Amino acid sequence: MRKVSVALFRRHLWISFALCGVLLVQIDSFALAANSPSLIRQLLNDPANIELNLRYADEAERRGELRKALQAYERLVANHPDDASLRRKLLRVKRLLRPAVTLAYVSIGAAYATNPRQRSSAEPREETGIFSAHAILYDERTIKRTRWRSYASAQTHYYDEADDLTSGRISFATGPLIDLGRKLKLHVAPEVAYRWLDGQRLYTEGAINLSLKGLHKGTIQSATLRIGYRDVNSEFSDSSGIAIDLTGRFVANDKVKKGDALFFVPRFRYSEPTGDESDLLLSSAVFPGNFYETGARLAYFVPLFGNLQIGAGIGAYYRHYDQNVLFDTKDREDIFIEPTAHLILHHPAGTEVDLRVDYRFEKNDSNDSAEDFENHVVGVRTLRRF
């Protein structure tokens, strides 16, 4: 009987030590986050109090102790499950606690174009091969109390038979992610970009991107407003100015067949050069001048078998120029149509690479016959994610 009593005493002693340890850790946690004896005493007496826990969580966040803030919000949500504002605060801290993510995408390809200069049928055409490379670096992490997202991009296109069209572009954008709801985020990202043409600086650009993204039935829907100013090299043109893009991207999955995807991408563009609009380059593809454009692209992709996927799409755009038709007083108006076809092989032979074959037909119909053109482009490229 005595042995049983001693064993029972020892068991109760260890349990008491453990409870004291938990209590000391909890008190230490309160002390680190709040650094206020009165707040500690109040929390110990009333651990479900909303105001006290909010003070504790806010102080913990300011000190960078996000896990302690998370514990406070979890207690509050457990005691007040119908409070939407508390759920939002809990979700925000959970997002801040996500690990940093860094991804890289690299694409290399070759294509063949029948009319890269977009000349009318009355002008001599020049076919060419095009070799391209594109790299994108994506990074998202928590900096202090804010989730931060950054993009860096570098691309180049080398034209074999029209080497004066060889060009490239590098850009960098970074900014905070702002939670607007459980499934809605706003990314505010200033951007700088540099583009070259034929070995010379074509323009330097500063822009602001406002990207709104949300989840709908498990897929990301987005709308992005980009406002930029291009400082064009005077050796090419005196037409520096603003360029505005408003683009949407809406996706629907599993509509006809499991694994399929339907994309709808509306777009509005506005360009207003502030330089000399008599520049002859304004009517070219590089400097389209003062215009607005509206249109959309529709595309559908469906898996066939194994890792093979096929797709088709069409884009249609109307563009109105604030410049006259050649030898006339009417404003120039264009309708641009672009049907496409795609074949994608994911991870062939067990590799980490995707292989794509793409075809597009470009047709521009203008009330200025000198601006009518057709162009066929077929290409193959690889894409790998690191």
Residue 45 CB neighbour total at 10 angstroms = 9
- The ranges of the chain annotated as CATH 2.40.160.40 are 101-385
Q: Which residues contact 377 (CB under 8 A, 6 or more apart)?
A: 111, 112, 113, 114, 130, 358, 359, 360, 361, 362
Give the 3-state secondary structure of residue 220. strand
CA 186, CA 176: separation in Å to the nearest integer?
8
Per-residue model confidence as pLDDT tens digits over 150-165? 999 999 999 999 899 9
DSSP result, 55-91 = HHHHHHHHTT-HHHHHHHHHHHHHH-TT-HHHHHHHH
Any residues with CB less than 8 A from the CB of 42 and at least 6 apart, and which?
A: 49, 52
24 vs 22: CA distance, rounded Å? 5
Q: Give 10-residue mean pLDDT values along the chain (386 residues).
A: 48 48 44 54 74 79 76 79 78 80 96 94 90 97 88 96 93 94 90 95 95 86 95 83 94 91 96 56 50 95 93 97 73 95 92 95 92 96 94
Single pTM value for the model: 0.77
What are 162's two structure tokens? 């029209």
pLDDT of residue 381: 97
Domain with CATH 1.25.40.10 in the chain: 2-96
Domain 2-96 belongs to what architecture? Alpha Horseshoe (1.25)
**Cβ–Cβ < 8 Å for 288, 282:** yes
- Per CATH, is 101-385 categorized as 3.90.660.10? no
The pLDDT value recorded for residue 96 is 79
At residue 217, the pLDDT reads: 76
Residues 174, 189 contacting (CB under 8 angstroms): yes
Q: Bridge-partner residues for 192, per DSSP?
A: 172, 206
274-308 pLDDT, tens digit per residue, is: 654 434 333 344 455 688 999 999 999 999 988 99
**Is the Cα dihedral 55, 58, 62, 67 positive or negative?**
positive
pLDDT of residue 220: 85
